[in-house]
Each structure stands twice: as C-alpha cells, then as structure tokens.
Amino acid sequence: MKTRWEILVVDDEEVMRESLAAWLREDGYSADTAASGREAINKARQKEYAMYFVDLKMPGGIDGIETMMEIHRLQPDASIIIITAYATVDTAITAMKEGAQEYIVKPCNLEEISLLVNRIIGVKNLQRENALLKKKLNRRYSLQDIISKNPRMQEIFRLIKEIASLKSTVLIQGESGTGKELIARAIHYTGERATKPFVGVSCAALAETLLESELFGHEKGSFTGAVAQKKGKFELAGGGTIFLDEIGDIPAKLQLDLLRVLQERSFYRVGGTEEIRVDVRVIAATNVNLQEAVREGVFREDLYYRLNVISIRIPPLRERLEDVPLLAHHFLEQLSLQLGKKVEHISEAALRLLMNHSWPGNVRELENVIERALVTCRDSLLSEDDFQFLAHELEGKKVLQESPVLTLRELEKQAIEVALRRTQGNMKEAAAVLGIDRSTLYEKIKKYEIAR
C-alpha cells in the first residue's frame, strides 16, 4: 500500500496540468493543480506538498524559477521538478542551481517520469521513517515519557530540567521499580550531554574484582583472563554520563576508588600505571537507605556526601496512587501494540482494584500486572476478572500484613519465599510476580539467605 503523498502540478496550460495530475492520481498519489506561480505559492502556504512539478515558462509575472524559489523558502524540504518544452542547458543549470531536484523536458517518457517520482518518493519515505524513529528514540528517554501528575513527581521533573546541564553528581533514591534509571536517562537526554554516551552499570550484579575492571578497565595480563586491554565504563562514558545503579551494594575497596574518581576526576585501569582523566557526569541510584548504611558503617560517609550533591527521591507508587490509572492506560497502549492485542480500555471496576493494591514492586509491578492481564484477556476491555490473580495475591498479603510481629525484613523475606514456592523456583516468574527485576531478586535471596 502506497502512502498518499501530495503532489502539486503547476502549469498555465490546463490540458498539461490536468493530464499529468490525472496520471499521478492513477499512480496512487494525491495530485492537486495550480494554473499560475501565484496560485502555486498560495497553495504552498496552506498545505505542505511532498513534490512540485513546476512549468518553467508561465505568464503572469512569476515564472517557474521564481515560483520554485518562493516554494523553497516556504518549504525547504519539498522536492521541485522543473518541466519545460524549451530545453536549453542554461535554463537547466539555473534551475538546478536554484534548488530544483530534477529537470524534465516535455513530452516525457512514461518510464522516465515514473522512475523519477518513485525515486523521489522512495527517499521521502526513508526520510519520514528516519524522522519517526529518531523521534521515538528521543521520546523513550525524554521527560515526556515519564508519566505522572503527582505534585512530588512534577517537582522532580522541574528539578531535572534545572540540573540537566550541570556537571554535579546526582543521587537518585527510590524503591525497586520506581524508575530510577528512567529518571537518570531523562537527566542525560535533557541536558547538554545528550549526544554523548549514557553508560549504565549495575553495581549489585558483579563480584568485586569484576566490578572493578568493569568500571575502570584493565591492562592486558593484569589478572588471569585479562588477555587484552579493556576500557572501563568510566572511559566509555567519556563526555557523557555514567549511571551507577545499586550503588549501596558497592564493596568497601571500590567505595574508596570511586571516591577518588569523584574527587580527582581521574583513575588507573586495573594493573595500569597510566593515570586516565575523564569528563563524566556521575548519576548514582540506590534502593537502600544510604544514610542508614552510613550509620551502620557499611557505606563511607565521605562517598555519601560526594554522591549526594543533588538528591532526588522518587516516591513509591503507593504514595502516588493518582498515577495508577494514567500509567495503566499508558502500559495498556504500549503493551497491546507489542503483544498484537486489540485491547483498548480498562473497566472502572478493574481500575478501582488496581488503585486498592499497595504496589510493593512499584511501576514495574504495575507494568507486569497489565502485561499478565493482557496475555489472558479475550475481550477488547480489561475487566476486573482479568486481574483476579492480583486479588488472590492481595488476600495472601493481607494475612501477612495482619501479623504484627514481623519486621519489614522478615516480611520481604516471606514474600520472596512465597513467590519462589508458587513459581516452583522459577526466578524470572518469581521476579515478575514480586514486581522486581531478576538481579534485585538474586541480591535479596543472597541477603536473606533464602534456600532455593
């Protein structure tokens, strides 16, 4: 199926413009006509045509070249093809110099004109696709893509705009699934570093030595397996932003190394002697209370202050329940497209059910819940019935919540044990049920010494 591109045919001879327009319509384009340069310019002011066929010799004051120049001024991206019966090399050169994309002599061969139009429209299709993809890419990480009408979140959006182009370190704190990485990316892509790399590292996912080489790189032969020199994430993020996720889990030695990078803006590769200087903005994120970790002596106080220059605390979803319907509709729109489902609405009763949930896994849990409901939904509406699994989980949780002797730690441990039992130890499914990512689940299993 061809896209209906709009083409304007400009010729003072009626039979010429109407016959060419008729042929273009048969070829699937939407063709309009103008009898003079003036009429063409007026039409170009009102509508954007993808392509213009302009006759060179036209009476009435404005000739083809002048018409073309004016159209170019109005629509710099339009393709203009000059047509004339009086072909001379001079007029061709003038037309091309003034910005005509092509120059044809009438009467022209059907094959020639068809190839010409197809070639130009082919390029236009690619340009449009490219622009759409670029827009999509930027949108994915822009502030507009973070959905919230909560005043505290709005405050965060304002702060992001103010600090986006600064070099200061940012510390993002929030529970699992609140969208810390999304905020970090929004800061990067809103600021002056947007065209430079954004490099993310999850500090909890790797063992100490691996993390060290991941962050700072290593020299060839610096340890077993270091068969070649490798650049670290700090170097790869040069000029851009490094995002250190789960910074609260970073081991003591690396805390010291990181402190040095933040102070000196330089470091050494593992096994290296050359000091490497970097211009990198650091954004760190954590779901643990760093102040408490400092008090407990597991996190360096000086590093905490170095990181906590600009602090952003993302509220959990249960504290901004007004966002639940907005987010639910957003995920429905996005996921139904991805899953190829024609589900367009969520019933009032289903939304009430979602608003009553406490969302321990935050926005990520909500996304998973919508996906799970969509997979089994057989209707064009997500109803309360599609979220029955959530009601069952709620009941289970209520039993837990009613027990007053449990600490939060124990509560979390129990929730993980229940999820693992229910999914027969399937980590991916258990993480989805809990609304956390797999690396967080691994980390918590380790932390609470849960048998799998």
Question: What tokens were used for 88?
Answer: 């001379």
CA–CA dist 38, 62 (Å, integer)? 7
In the complex, minimum distance from the CB of residue 21 to another protein, in angstroms, rounded to a whole number:
9
CA–CA dist 213, 226 (Å, integer)? 10
Piece of the chain touching another protein by CB under 8 A; list 14-22, 191-199, 208-216, 384-392 = 14-22
Is 3 near another protein (CB under 8 A)?
no
Concatenated DSSP letters of 281-308:
EEEEEESS-HHHHHHTTSS-HHHHHHHT
Sequence-distant (6+) residues with CB within 8 A of 360 are 175, 415, 434, 435
In the complex, minimum distance from the CB of residue 13 to another protein, in angstroms, rounded to a whole number:
7
Piece of the chain touching another protein by CB under 8 A; list 105-113, 128-136, 342-350, 440-448 = 105-113
Choose, by CB under 8 A, the member of 108, 256, 339, 355 that binds another protein: 108
Is 15 near another protein (CB under 8 A)?
yes
SS3 of residue 181 by DSSP: helix
Choose, by CB under 8 A, the member of 7, 10, 16, 211 that binds another protein: 16
CA–CA dist 262, 282 (Å, integer)? 8
In the complex, minimum distance from the CB of residue 72 to another protein, in angstroms, rounded to a whole number:
23
| Residue pair 174/180 in contact by the 8 Å Cβ criterion | yes
Binding-site size, another protein (CB under 8 A): 22
Choose, by CB under 8 A, the member of 73, 74, 107, 162 that binds another protein: 107
Among candidate residues 431, 396, 427, 424, the one with its CA nearest the CA of residue 411: 396
Choose, by CB under 8 A, the member of 61, 86, 89, 109 that binds another protein: 109
Piece of the chain touching another protein by CB under 8 A; list 21-29, 121-129, 160-168, 440-448 = 21-29
| Residue pair 433/396 in contact by the 8 Å Cβ criterion | no
Is 2 near another protein (CB under 8 A)?
yes
In the complex, minimum distance from the CB of residue 33 to another protein, in angstroms, rounded to a whole number:
12
DSSP 8-state class, residue 275: E
In the complex, minimum distance from the CB of residue 110 to another protein, in angstroms, rounded to a whole number:
4
CA–CA dist 276, 399 (Å, integer)? 56
105 DSSP β-pair partners: 84
Choose, by CB under 8 A, the member of 40, 113, 121, 237 that binds another protein: 113
Bond from prior residue into 251 cis (ω within 30 degrees of 0):
no
Piece of the chain touching another protein by CB under 8 A; list 10-18, 93-101, 143-151, 284-292 = 10-18
Closer by beta carbon to another protein, 113 or else 390: 113
How many other C-beta atoms are found inside a 10 Å radius of the C-beta of residue 329? 16
- The DSSP bridge pattern shows strands 266-268 and 275-277 to be antiparallel
Closer by beta carbon to another protein, 108 or else 252: 108
Choose, by CB under 8 A, the member of 111, 296, 402, 449 that binds another protein: 111
Closer by beta carbon to another protein, 117 or else 261: 117
CA–CA dist 324, 322 (Å, integer)? 6
* CA-CA-CA-CA torsion sign (113, 116, 122, 125): negative
Question: What tokens were used for 289?
Answer: 């209370």
In the complex, minimum distance from the CB of residue 12 to another protein, in angstroms, rounded to a whole number:
12
In the complex, minimum distance from the CB of residue 51 to another protein, in angstroms, rounded to a whole number:
15
Choose, by CB under 8 A, the member of 106, 167, 196, 341 that binds another protein: 106
Is 72 near another protein (CB under 8 A)?
no
Counting Cα atoms < 13 Å in the Cβ hemisphere of 302 gives 10
The distance in angstroms from the start CA to the end CA of the chain is 54
Choose, by CB under 8 A, the member of 3, 13, 355, 428 that binds another protein: 13
Q: Could you say which residues in the range 24-63 bind another protein, by CB under 8 A?
A: 25-28
In the complex, minimum distance from the CB of residue 254 to another protein, in angstroms, rounded to a whole number:
59
Is 22 near another protein (CB under 8 A)?
yes
Would you tell me which residues interact with another protein (CB under 8 A)?
Answer: 1-2, 13, 15-16, 19-20, 22-23, 25-28, 83, 106-111, 113-114
